[in-house]
Structure formats: structure tokens, C-alpha cells
Amino acid sequence: MTETMRWFGPTDPVRLRDIRQAGACEVVTALHDVPNGHIWDCDAIASRKSEIAAAGLGWTVIESLSVHEDIKTRGPDWDRLIGNYRQSLVNIAACGITVVTYNFMPLLDWTRTDLAWPMPDGALALRFELEAVAAYDVYILRRPYAERDYDAATLEAAARRFADMSDEECHTLERTIIAGLPGSEESFTSPEFLRAIEAYADVDADRLRDNHVAFLEAVCPVADDLGLQLVVHPDDPPFPIFGLPRVVSTEDDLATLFARVPNRSNGLCFCAGSLGVRADNDLPGMVERLGDRIGFLHLRSVQREPRGAFHEATHLGGDANMSAIVAAVHALQMREGRSIPMRPDHGHQMLDDLSRLTNPGYSLIGRMRGLAELRGLERGIAHAMSSIRQLQEA
């Protein structure tokens, strides 16, 4: 695998030289200062790439070139926004970048309810609790008919939770959910979020899926001609929240998307953490069956908990079976003769980073630990597979 690490640009507290010392050879980044729907200028892309190269690192994967909400809802500005997206792809390809990550989640990107969940070893992890989402949705956001989206046990737990929350705790939960986590495409206040949800009133799962297909049918021919691969990031978490549909959550979702848009540029960012929240997603099997579509890897593991909760585990722990995933990735790379870009995702905040300003999930030391563990795992698997082949040939 090609070892990369995410970098949020010049304002990221993790510096480029830190990433290089951590062992990565590339960064994955974006022009985060460019508003959604605007064209990425060639000069700005080239300038950022030169800055990265000066630190001895490469940049071949964008994360992310955001998809505007008016594209997701097929709004009145669709034609102009599609034209802008196509032009950005042209400019990106001209600068030698080959993989473009995006997602099709309505309004919210990845969502958590706790950014500093204490682990037994003293490190801090990201966590998602469905009852916390329900408490915010029903009692703070006060979305109309929100109660219909939760079962009785979750509503009862949410009511108890809200009753025990201070004003400060309510504010922290609100900000955690809707203020925008690192890499998120949007940030809202609760009134703004309610109004934005209303724009999806007529967009159910089928319509969102159709809008996703329409987007790809409009941009994939351009990406095909440019030699770019567009890789969709799965939903995080992989189920509907706040009454909003999500349609990139399962293997069936992905297989349907690739069948409806068979262009070679229509690809997958395989996120083991996002897909691994669902116990019905067979992660190693998905690598085997969807491998020719995988252009980028997010390797992390979550620990599933009762009642829809989960937290970020260590990279080799949790429920993901990372050994089997990396073995499947190694077999895919050998079969296709390529090295797939990979980044360790959502590391724990630990050691000296506990006293530093960090982006939630993107502190240096936890990700460096993950990168080292994943590197060792891959090399061990490669050595074992090579030894087996030698024995078979003897």
C-alpha cells in the first residue's frame, strides 16, 4: 500500500515535516478554503502541491472535492454546479492528481457525539451514541416528528439523558454534531440545520440514489477522459440520521451504484471504519468482490456497542478484523499489479497530544501508531504469502 496521512493544509497543527517523520510518503488533502460549488483554480492546486513537494511528500489523492447540496437535491443551480465540478476535475488532472474522493451524504459529513471518550489506557477516542443523537434531535433541535425515527427504548434513554444534561452539555453536544468536524463540508446552527433539512423533504432514499447516479453520469465521462478516478466515501455512520436518507452504506448499495454507472472512473474509497459499523458488512469479502473499484483505503476499526453506539478502536483492534482486510488488499494488489493509497484514519489522542491543540480524530501520535501497525501487518502478510508461494513452487 502507498502510505499516506491526511493533512488539512497550512493551518493544520500537524505539520508536513511531522507527517514525513511519521513514515508517510504522501499526504491526502484538499483546498479547504474554497467554498463548496466553486471551481478549484489551477494555480491554487499547483501552489499547494509545490508546498507539499518542498517537504519531500507527494500529493496524488484529493480528500475531498465536495459535492454541493444543490447537486444532491437536484436543485435549480444543478447545471452551473455540475459545470464547475467538471472544470475542477480538468484543473486537478492538469496538476497530476489522479484520485478524487467525495461523498454523497446529505448535509452532514461524518458524525460523532463525543470527541474525547476516555479509553482504559487514558487515551481519548471518538464515539457515536444513538441516544445522544435522539436527545439532540427531539429536545434541542426539536425537529418535527423526530420521535417517529427512534424506537421506544431509545426515546426513553434520550429523555433521561436530556433531563440530566446541563446547558453547557447541551451546547457541547449541539456543537459536536452540527458545527462541522475536520474535513466536514458544512457547519450549521440548529435553526440553520432545521431549514436545511426542509430542503430534503421530498428526497427519499430512491430519489437521493437517482440524484447520485445523475451526478456520476454527468461527471464520469470527463473523469474517464482525464484518467481520474472518483472514489465515493461510504456513509458515516452507515444509516439514516435526522430523517435524512443515506444510500452508500452497504455492499448492495455500492454494487447497485457501480452497475448503474459502469464508467471506469466510478470508484470506491474503502473505509473500513464507516462500513464496519454495520455487522452485516463483510469487509474482507467486500475488498475481494469490489476490489477493481477501490482507489483509496481508509483503514481504521470501530468497536460496536449495544443500542447503535460505537467508538473508534485501535487500528488492529475492534470489530474490523484488520488482518483479514489487509490480506485481501495485499492479494488485490498482487492480482492487479498496483499499490493502493492508504491512510490510517481517526487515531486516538494519546501521549503528548493529550496536551496539544489537535483536530478531533487527526492528532499525530495516534495516527502514527496506526500507520506503524498497519505497515508491519502488511509486510508480515507479504512475507508470509511470498514464503507460501516459494514452498508451492519448490
Kindly give, in sequence order, each residue whose CB lies less than 8 Å from that of residue 115, ignoring residues fewer than 6 positions away: 124, 126, 176, 181, 360, 361
67 contacts 97 by C-beta, under 8 angstroms: no
Q: Is-catalytic flag, 348?
A: no
CA 79 to chain CA centroid, Å, is 26
What pairing do the DSSP bridges indicate for beta strands 2-6 and 26-29?
parallel
Q: Which three cell numbers stand for residue 180?
A: 462541522
In whole angstroms, what is the distance from residue 300 CA to residue 386 CA?
26
Cell representation of residue 101: 474522493
Q: Do the Cβ atoms of 243 and 146 come closer than 8 Å?
A: yes
Q: Catalytic one among 68, 315, 346, 348?
A: 346
Q: Which of 114, 271, 311, 348 is catalytic?
A: 271
Among the listed residues 114, 137, 236, 345, the single catalytic one is 345
Question: How far is 314 from 116, CA to CA, in rounded Å?
Answer: 14
Catalytic one among 102, 137, 212, 233? 233
170 labelled catalytic: no
* Catalytically annotated residue among 102, 149, 220, 298: 298
User: Contact 113/129 with Cβ under 8 angstroms?
Assistant: yes
Distance CA 222, CA 220 (A): 5
User: How far is the C-alpha of 335 from the C-alpha of 329, rounded, in Å?
Assistant: 10
Which residue type is seen at 139? Y
How many C-alpha atoms does 71 have within 13 Å on its Cβ side?
26
Query: Do the Cβ atoms of 8 and 32 come closer than 8 Å?
Result: yes
For the question of residue 171 being annotated catalytic, the response is no
d(CA 258, CA 279): 22
298 is catalytic: yes
In the residue annotation, 271 being an active-site residue is answered as yes
68 catalytically annotated: no
Dist CA 214 CA 195 (whole Å):
25
Where in the sequence numbering do the catalytic residues fall?
233, 271, 298, 345-346, 362
